[in-house]
Amino acid sequence: MDTEVGRDIADALGVLLKRSTRQELHRALTAGMGEAVDELTYPLLSGLARTGPCSAADLAPEVGLDRSGITRRASRLEEAGLVRREPDPSDQRATLLALTDAGERTVQALRERLSARITMSLASWPADEAAAFANSLRRFVTDGPFSQAHLR
């Protein structure tokens, strides 16, 4: 395969992975979702949806924040009824963060907004090209340089 393809993909990923790109997307997705749900708390909600209940220390590397950032954002979300703290069954001194039912519904709404945004952005593509892109992206994520096998 041509190394230019690899460079083109690397350049595109550079744009996608930029913190400012993610924050702008999170800001757009969370608009009107309530005071506690914004571009700062979106990663925590999304991370908890992926991981399930976990400690702030375990969630921090998952979402790219430090433990104190997780704790501050979790407090905002807890006050809004979207996150709860519960005892860690494996360590009674530790606390886990978990989504509440309202938090689960909020994450579902955010995922639907993201899906609609992606669908809208691909609306001008021929259906077979959009489907091929989705399949190729899924394969790239599963088998490519970001897969768990390649990250070890």
> What pLDDT shows up at residue 152?
62
Is 23 inside any structural domain? yes
| Cβ–Cβ under 8 Å, residues 44 and 74 | yes
CA distance 82 to 104: 8
CATH number, domain of 91, equals 1.10.10.10
> What pLDDT shows up at residue 10?
87
- The residue among 67, 72, 87 whose CA lies nearest residue 36 is 72
Amino acid type, 8: D
Is 130 inside any structural domain? no
Q: What is the pTM of this model?
A: 0.86
> What pLDDT shows up at residue 126?
97
Is 151 inside any structural domain? no
CA distance 61 to 58: 7
Contacts of 59 (CB under 8 A, 6+ apart): 44, 47, 48, 51, 70, 97
Is 137 inside any structural domain? no
Is 142 inside any structural domain? no
**What is the count of structural domains for the chain?**
1
Q: Domain limits at 60?
A: 3-121
**Can you name the residues that pair with 52 across neighbouring β-strands?**
none
Angle at 38 between CA 114 and CA 10, to 5 degrees: 55
> What pLDDT shows up at residue 15?
83
pLDDT in tens, the chain (152 residues): 678 888 988 888 888 878 888 899 999 999 999 999 999 999 999 999 999 999 999 999 999 889 999 999 999 999 999 999 999 888 888 899 999 999 999 999 999 999 999 999 999 999 999 999 999 999 988 888 877 776 66
> What pLDDT shows up at residue 105?
97
> What pLDDT shows up at residue 151?
66
Is 148 inside any structural domain? no
Is 138 inside any structural domain? no
CA distance 15 to 32: 26
Is 145 inside any structural domain? no
